[in-house]
Structure 1
Amino acid sequence: MINVLKVSNELRRLGINLNEKRIRIASYINTEQCSDLTLPPNCRGFGRIHHFRRYQGEGWPLDPLPIDPARHALGLPDDDEITAEVFQNAVCNLKCWYCYVDRRLISANPQHSSMLTAEELIDCYLSESLRPPMIDISGGQPDLVPEWVLWFADTIKKRHMDKDIYLWSDDNLTTDFLWRFLNQAEIKRLSSYENYGRVGCFKGFDPNSFSFNTGAPPEYFKTQFSLMRKLIESGFDVYGYVTLTSNKNDRISSLIADFIDKLQSEVHPLFPLRTIPQRILEFTPTQKRTNIEQQKALQIQNEAVNFWQQELNKRFSKDQLETRIYKHKLNI
């Protein structure tokens, strides 16, 4: 079982240079993840182009993240996809069995990463002929080094590109580092950054599935809800993903109902409408390490997502369910 706090502190130490404002960024060159990319890595090997698409597969809800928030913020016409420039930091405090990233790209391995500034990454982005309108700050776990997103936002604004680029970041909802290492003024500056959205990933629908998926103690399941609530209270435009894989398929209906109850009571009554079940697929890095129990979990998610849809239909009106995801306002 992962000692989340100990691992988080150690990876933060290896993943950031505060004096020089450098972050440990993963390089995709000669990695298993690289073989799954539609386009070859760009930005000297530290970037990649990703196509976010709405369709997840038969039986799964459409995924509007981050398509709709990004296109709306930038004044772009509606579409079913958006491209993004993705940078991954090379540290993560969880070991999700389904993660599409090579293990060596999340362990601060200096052979597969370099310490770079936001300025250097933006320079790389601007040097490319294909520049998507969105930059995805991914990982890894970006919130082990929350300064990274702030430095990126500051750099984009300093270069007067903040109206033209939508910034998006991921968070696995396991640490309070955002509030521990950024001061109130910095948090306010980031949360009020106009073209910025973030998604927090719920790594399961109960303590057991959370621990099964992440390798972390089951008590961290409840931490996700308090951190998401705190993000909303801090003024962020925040959304949710939920992973429905589990090693057990008993009581799924009631467990999904309980999970949505917690979203409504502990985060916000409308937050289920801002949360999307994320379908887990196999990628090259996961094929070699997926065991029989995990293969079963890939099937269980298809059962769980049906109960998710049923619960939403019970709790919300047709108009609410059809409203654009960014229009559900979370006023606290």
Structure 2
Amino acid sequence: MDLHPLNLRVTHLAAEAKDVVLIELRATDAQPLPPFTAGSHLEILVAETQPRHYSLLNDPRERDRYLIAVGLAAQSRGGSRFLHQQLRLGDTLSSSLPRNHFPLDEQLQRYCMVAGGIGITPILAMLHWCQAHEKDWRLVYCVRNRQRAAFYETLRQLDPERVRLHVTDEAGDHLDTAELLNSLRDGEHLYACGPAPLLDALQAAAGPRSDRLHVERFNAPPTCAEGNKGNEGFTLHLRRSGLSLWVAPEQSILEVLEQHGIDLPFSCRSGICGSCETAICAGLPEHRDLILSDADKAGGRSLMVCVSRALSESLELDL
């Protein structure tokens, strides 16, 4: 299966804020693009070989273009640096179909959105959807300084009364997440995307409201349940092939499978795309992905082999 079936042409490039570039993409054959929902992202092959995930920020009703915005990462592994420094108008990029691991509950009437930095991108698509469906929404947008407030004028055009800008350098402190969560109204859910410290603070303050908090992270956090047990090595049994392999503490399941010539779909290697989901036959997994729901993780029926490990001494997979 081709994981990157779309050929997209760069039709517009613009600096949106400090270290943020806006990229407009259209189909090379000028046909309508596959539809997407608010919260969706594309997996784009950067420099033809590096898969990177970027949220779609434009109105989901648009079928003629996709809009993404890319922040220049301080510790870029080449993806954001390439798009900032080498991408040109007219270039073509290979992309997946839109995927959504951060969907809105469209049955709600009230939404509180929180964005940190480049995390504004999926939130902006959600706000377009809320406006189109006459939903009650509000936004808290956290940035270090005003020069980094991407799309602020666009947000004000949507509804300036609903947008609150929290500038850390001016406020002298980070957002009071507990106060924000306490302000949630009846039936209102909070959707947040941004850097790990912001999302960690929201989750720590959520308490009994955790079922009304929805977050999207840039990368899966390096968690480890039950002390350090999940970081120990374990035996991997493959039911269909009959192999038993050792997964060392510094290895992922995916790396061990690759070393032994076992091919399976994968993409992000960071637990955020879902391509490598594999069924579990026996054993206790330690989930480290951002795809499976809490209920799915508790069920222990599958895991993402790129990041997840075992809490038991052995793990058997349907491979």
Structures share fold, TM-score greater than 0.5: no
TM-score of the pair, normalised by structure 2: 0.28
Q: Of Structure 1 and Structure 2, which has the larger fraction of its residues in helix?
A: 1
Q: What's the TM-score, normalizing by structure 1?
A: 0.27
Relative to total residues, which structure has the larger strand share, 1 or 2? 2
**Larger RCO, structure (CA 8 Å, separation 6 or more):** 1
